[in-house]
A and B are shown apart, each in its own frame.
Chain A
Amino acid sequence: MLPIIFVLPLLQLIILSNAATFEVDNIKFGYIDNDHTSTSRALIEQFNASTYFNILTGFPSETLASYAMLKGEVDVVLEIPNYFERDLQKEKHQSIGVSINAIDGAAAGVENVYVSQIIQHFNKHVKVNLFQASDLQIQPISIETIPLFWYNKTLNYKTFMVPGILVLLVTMITLFLSGMNIVREKEIGTLEQINVTPIKKSQFIIGKLFPFWVIGLGLLTVGLIIAKLIFNVPMLGSLPLMYLYTSIYILVVLGIGLFISNFTDTQQQAMFIAWFFTVIFILMSGLFTPIESMPKWAQIITEFNPIKYFVEVMRMIMLKGSGFTDILPQLLKTLLYALIMNGLAVWSYKKTN
């Protein structure tokens, strides 16, 4: 059992961190060039030069392009109108149509950004190349933004995904193990034998918590080593602080698990309830979708999501190097949560019914 507990989650960490990327590449790109001029070809060439797009085909008509998108052969279709170059020179203004397959909404958003960036880039060159000197005087002043990505300079998604996925694994394993535990003893009958002994409720619960607590911290340790060795995730903050927070956090998860275990009669029931909570906790943790973009009521719910705090703290300590005072709010909330959940676990464990 112990190898399973350790090996499978770590495989998940390696696979998911490499696979769960927000970058979209190998976009199948199609175009309809109604202009056939050097400018239109130069624009298409820009897409060809980009590493994100695979130029697939030029379509003679919009109908054929739509048909190709329907069949899933292209993701993005760029339509360059008639007299594109001429109008651009004469009227200094032109619009082109971009159709994006939005079946995957997230990918479509990213593709839109890529397309806009390439066209903007092209825009600048076009100004230099096409316009005469006299035109330069009436050029509007443009403001350019130069973003600096703090704490993750290259916007490396692995740098923020690895800590997040590590959080998920520690949470899921400890929750499932503890959730199954007491109910398993109920199923095989050992709980009945324990219940007639003079053991105290709190002693019993602590005895149940401790092994999983150690396993959780062990999992974190191995996960951090992998994060450093394989993904080279920075570790700016203090490790003892991270362990302090994690040790309290695991208590919350174990408390929830034991609480579930006390209220169920079979391992299946426990498993489904644990699964229900993990899915909600994970999807509302801010790991995959930012909490800021959730509706107000959902944001309030996330206040009760322990994974949210763990993801925050993990990223703060690892990437930002936050100290004790920075994570104090999360630490206190988690501690309170741990006390409540374990109190409930002890209370709900009944030796008599």
Chain B
Amino acid sequence: MGITIRNISKSYKNVKALQDISFNVKKGELFGLIGPDGAGKTTLFRVLTTLLFADQGSATVAEFDVVKDYKSIRNNVGYMPGRFSLYQDLTIEENLEFFATIFGTTIEENYDLIKDIYIQIEPFKNRRAGKLSGGMKQKLALCCALIHKPKVLFLDEPTTGVDPVSRKEFWEMLKRLQLKGITILVSTPYMDEAALCDRIALIQNGKILEIDTPKEIVKHYPKQIYNVKANNMYRLINSLKAYEHNHSVYPFGEYVHYTDSRTDFNTEDLKTYLETKNLSNIYIDKTVATIEDTFMELAK
């Protein structure tokens, strides 16, 4: 088993950061923790990486208990905190060497693991980490987290503040690492990235809302969603929100995702209603639920 979490709770003064969290991550699984800022993702990471003691509950990482065997965990996990936290005044190479030395290993020993990523930043290996671009920083941080060949990799919002191309590359790298047998727990506030995970957990306000594969999780969505579009977006949203039968109204790209509380919902009714609100070019069509829709529904 990669990670097991049993009834973990943690509070900071008045804030309940984690409330009775339990789930398992299988060995070699790419598991996503999806939730908005302040949902408790980082707190959970800190508990699992032995930086923080939980108030209640127990957890194991790579079969080591986070409290009793914390030393073994530190030898066997790689952690990439949300904030870039390598030494900015060391160069790429020096940072890598430094972390290799701390873990009692060398760059050469595990070079095959980081090779794919490292060759991309190698041309800049004498540049100081503080002077790197966001994407390069992420790659370096990932190299440093992998240098000791960890069994489990914790990535706390690794793609926040990274450009779309680098984000895509980053996820491809994660997929490759997964093939090497590394269990990966990754958190992200981006719903589109969730679809790339094997399984995801939706988390909000310190509680797990749902755990399943991305494909299954959207099936949990209870209603039919409609894409609604009209000539005036702002008035459209206000009108829909004022509509007596609405169940949920969210802007979603160029459309508004709308669900109706009635079971015998007819799109023509809605269209006539919207026309009375002086909207024209009205377009209403069925669509499938996304993870974002599911999250919004569950988070209600």
Contact = CB atoms under 8 A, between A and B. Distances in A.
B221 interface: no
Interface residues of B, number: 23
Contacts, number: 49
B103 A353 contact: no
A196 B52 contact: no
B230 to A, nearest CB: 46
B103 A197 contact: yes
Contact of A352 (B51, B77, B84, B88): B51
Contacts of A351: 50-51
A352 B50 contact: yes
B86 A190 contact: yes
A19 interface: no
Contact of A353 (B52, B77, B88): B52
Interface string A180-216: 0000000011111111111100000000000000000
Contact of A198 (B51, B53, B104): B104
A137 B104 CA distance: 94
B87 A190 contact: yes
B103 A196 contact: no
Contacts of A199: 102
A192 B52 CA distance: 11
B157 to A, nearest CB: 13
B74 A192 contact: no
Contacts of B104: 198
A352 B79 contact: no
B53 A352 contact: yes
A342 to B, nearest CB: 21
A197 B102 contact: yes
A196 B71 contact: no
Contacts of B79: 193, 196
B52 to A, nearest CB: 6
Contacts of B51: 192, 195-196, 351-353
B55 to A, nearest CB: 13
B69 to A, nearest CB: 12
Contacts of B50: 196, 351-352
A192 B86 CA distance: 10
A199 B49 CA distance: 14
B202 to A, nearest CB: 26
A199 B74 CA distance: 9
A196 B152 CA distance: 13
A199 B83 CA distance: 21
A89 to B, nearest CB: 82
Nearest to A190: B85
Interface class of chain B by DSSP: loop
Interface in A300-353: 351-353
Given A351-B51, A352-B51, A352-B52, A198 B85 contact: no
Contacts of B86: 190, 193
Interface string A87-128: 000000000000000000000000000000000000000000
Contacts of A189: 81, 83-85
Interface in B59-93: 70-71, 74-75, 77, 79, 81, 83-88
Given A198-B102, A352-B53, A353-B52, A193 B74 contact: no
B226 interface: no
Interface in B179-219: none
Interface in B17-70: 49-53, 70
B99 interface: yes
B70 A352 contact: yes
A57 to B, nearest CB: 63
A249 to B, nearest CB: 29
Nearest to B90: A190
A181 B50 CA distance: 23
A193 B81 contact: yes
A349 to B, nearest CB: 13
Interface centre among A193, A195, A198 (most CB of B within 10 A): A193
A197 B102 CA distance: 7
Contact of A193 (B71, B77, B85): B85
A188 B90 CA distance: 14
B232 to A, nearest CB: 45
Nearest to B130: A188
A196 B85 contact: no
Given A196-B79, A197-B103, A188 B88 contact: yes
Contacts of A198: 71, 74-75, 102-104
Contacts of B74: 196-198
Contacts of B102: 194, 197-199
Contacts of A353: 51-53
Nearest to B66: A352
Contacts of B53: 352-353
Contacts of B49: 196
A193 B148 CA distance: 14
Nearest to A353: B52
A188 B83 CA distance: 9
A117 B254 CA distance: 97
A202 B137 CA distance: 30
A39 to B, nearest CB: 76
A129 B168 CA distance: 106
A183 to B, nearest CB: 15
Contacts of B71: 198
Nearest to B102: A197
A184 to B, nearest CB: 11
10 contacts: A188-B85, A189-B83, A189-B85, A190-B85, A192-B85, A193-B86, A196-B49, A196-B74, A197-B99, A351-B50
Given A188-B85, A189-B85, A196-B49, 4 more contacts: A193-B86, A199-B102, A352-B52, A352-B53
